[in-house]
Amino acid sequence: MQHTRALAMTRSFQRQIRMARALTQHEQEQCVNAVCRFIENASAPGLNFEKLGGGPRSNLWSIRASRELRILLAEGATHFVFVNAGHHDVMYDWARRRQHYVDLASETLAEFHLTVPENPIALRRSPTASATGDPPPAADEPAPAAIGVPPTDPVGIEALFQRVFRGDFEEWQLFLHPDQKPLVSRHWSGPARIRGAAGTGKTVIGLHRLAELARRYPNEQVLFTTYSRSLADLLAQRFRNLPMAPANVEFLNIDRVAYKYDRQRWADFNLVNQAFDAACSEFIVNSPLERIEKEYLREEIERVIKGNGLQNLEEYLSVERLGRKRSFPQNTRKLVWELSELWTRKLTEQNVVSYPDRKIRARDAVQNLPQPPYRCVIIDEAQDMTLVEMQFVRALVAGDPGNPVPENGILILDDPAQRIYAGGYRIRRAGLDISGRAHLLKRNYRNAPSVFRAAKSVRGNVLVTLDNEDDRSILDTELAFPQLEDDRPILALVDTKGEIPYLRNQLQEIATARAFTPNEVAVFLKHNQQVDATRIFLENHGIPCAHLTRDGFAGNGIRVGTYDRARGLEFRAVFLPRLGASQFPLGSADTAQPQPQTDPNQHLEWRLLELARLYIAMTRAREHLVLIADEEPCDEIRTTLGDEILLRDFRGQIHAPPNRFT
């Protein structure tokens, strides 16, 4: 008789499998592959799944990872637990010394569930009683959804949530709430979409779902893509911390995916910019376009014309300009189209192709491949993709537009409240029908309630782009995080040019008073120039910094980067300087700085996008958030003071706590 069993692993096994001094990288890969094969089929040839020992208490089993490697499992009442891995003689000696028995009640288990619901593992039951003396379950009893925490037990779930929250921060970043596990294991007959506000767990679900799909399709490639290169690289590192993370996965931002299928010389920013400036100088002087900021015109061409893959003026005249607040009548559109064509000609003369044109070429190339390159794709931060980019993603799993998307082929993760780039798209125009396969996440598992309420209040409820009416409820989120005592975010008003010195003192104080480690603390600013100046100041005053670049974190220490690069990350504490009204939302350093004659709707669009960026930065904080300004802040921040954000006036005060970071 066969009985279904769930799988878990001990914390020590999780560490052992990644310990370089115990196993080489190749041996680690062999162990991971063996575990994945075991998950698919415990009786697979070559695994040699067998029981060790014959005593009344013996509960150890063994599987073969290679000729020299063995993996040991301990059998519990309702599950098997991976407990050790290593070389043959070492593992068998280890088992004999313990009389082939491991007391699972004394072990700390990793809170990860590795069963594949569509193909549960049927494991052979030992003829002897279990170590706990519990009788075996009936043959048709389903595997438990989580080790030790039934999904229907709210008390047990809350205890688990609290324990992980107070535990290791890196583990917290991968914590999958039991309520979300069905989304990881679910079978979808076509493309699917998961939406939710910041902190609702979209990215964590995506990472666990990626591992699940990679195990389901071990002989095919699965892809995780997003808009930001730095986020893709950081999530790849986080994914490798999952227990038994499969190897048949790729993490690439959408630009790098496109480069794989259009390998001609990549876009040269300087030449592209020069060509655009030359086209504007030649075309818009003394024309109606002269009243429109160049940056807005460029966004129109790159995000509306090129982003939708429009082929002629007629298509542009009839296209829905999603997310663009400024009205463009027909005559204006005709002029913008002529400017776009002139820019393209100037690029062609210099043998340069812009990024939007590269995406079009890559999409067309993949649609014509004899075989799609990926079995599954997960897209994070999909709200900032263009229509062409979504069509490109579809082609990666389906090829020709006439081919259907395979089952479990595409999972879209997005949040319209976190859109920070101009434009938008209708998902159906990308050939993606998600009818019956859309899920809205309604609980925030990241932020302290006071942090999320403050961020939501500053951001406001107006969305730049609405794909459908349901988008309006995206911010109506329940708060699952434990309420902390009087830890509301604060706005610190400091002396002129005192923001960064105050920041330095606060970083020193939080390290001493709260014992936050540098990797748990972040500083985010609006512009790269502000980031560079802040990082240099802090390092010159004894606070090491890790610069968040397009390639990930450079260096070690407090994390410092722009709002745009904050997406997908989370920290225990976040500091946001440079928030005086002259610098935020639209300050002198902005390339899109509105002129006095700027259209009010255009100004509103830019302002909403900047507030969305600040919302992203604010919601990176799990429990401690500080805004800093050396002047009065903008209206959106000022109206929250006293209710959601505490005002603290430190002007004229000097703080000099001891330096913990040196």
CATH number of the domain where residue 409 is located: 3.40.50.300
pTM of structure: 0.79
User: Is the per-residue pLDDT at 169 higher than 70?
Assistant: no
Angle formed by the axes of helices 254-261 and 387-398, nearest 10°: 60
Looking at residue 221, its pLDDT comes to 96
Question: What is the residue-averaged pLDDT of the chain?
Answer: 84
Tokens of 57: 């208490």
State how beta strands 552-554 and 571-576 pair.
unpaired
**Does residue 161 belong to any structural domain of this protein?**
no
**Does residue 533 belong to any structural domain of this protein?**
yes
Which strands make up the sheet holding 521-525, listed edge to edge? 552-554, 545-549, 558-562, 521-525, 571-576, 621-629, 490-493, 646-649
**Does residue 379 belong to any structural domain of this protein?**
yes
Same-domain status, 535 and 640:
yes
Dist CA 342 CA 353 (whole Å): 14
Looking at residue 127, its pLDDT comes to 33
The DSSP line for 12-71 is HHHHHTT-TTTS-HHHHHHHHHHHHHHHH-TT-TT---EE---SSS--EEEEESSSSEEE
Same-domain status, 203 and 76:
no
**Does residue 545 belong to any structural domain of this protein?**
yes
**156 confidence band (pLDDT: 50, 70, 90):** low
**Domain end: 352, 382, 398, which one?**
352
**Domain end: 287, 320, 352, which one?**
352
Please give the residue range of the domain that contains residue 256: 190-262+370-441
Number of domains present in the structure of the chain: 4
Choose among 234, 225, 268, 272: nearest CA to 549.
234
Secondary structure letter of residue 580 according to DSSP: B
Same-domain status, 277 and 258:
no
Dist CA 412 CA 17 (whole Å): 32
What are the DSSP E strand ranges found in 395-504?
410-414, 438-441, 443-444, 478-479, 490-493
Number of Cβ within 10 Å of residue 137's Cβ equals 16
Residues 121, 127, 131, 135: is their CA dihedral positive or negative?
positive
Comparing 467 with 547, which gets the higher pLDDT? Answer: 547
Report the pLDDT averaged over residues 223-241. 91
Looking at residue 264, its pLDDT comes to 72
**Domain end: 294, 324, 352, which one?**
352
Looking at residue 141, its pLDDT comes to 30
Contact partners, residue 426, CB within 8 Å, separation at least 6: 320, 322, 387, 467
Rounded to the nearest angstrom, the gap between the alpha carbon of residue 353 and the centroid of all alpha carbons in its chain is: 29
Choose among 635, 328, 277, 658: nearest CA to 460.
635
Phi, psi dihedrals of residue 523, rounded to the nearest 5°:
-125, 125
Contact partners, residue 199, CB within 8 Å, separation at least 6: 444, 445, 446, 447, 452, 477, 570, 619
**Does residue 364 belong to any structural domain of this protein?**
no
Same-domain status, 324 and 391:
no
Report the pLDDT averaged over residues 363-388. 97
Dist CA 418 CA 403 (whole Å): 31
**Does residue 179 belong to any structural domain of this protein?**
no
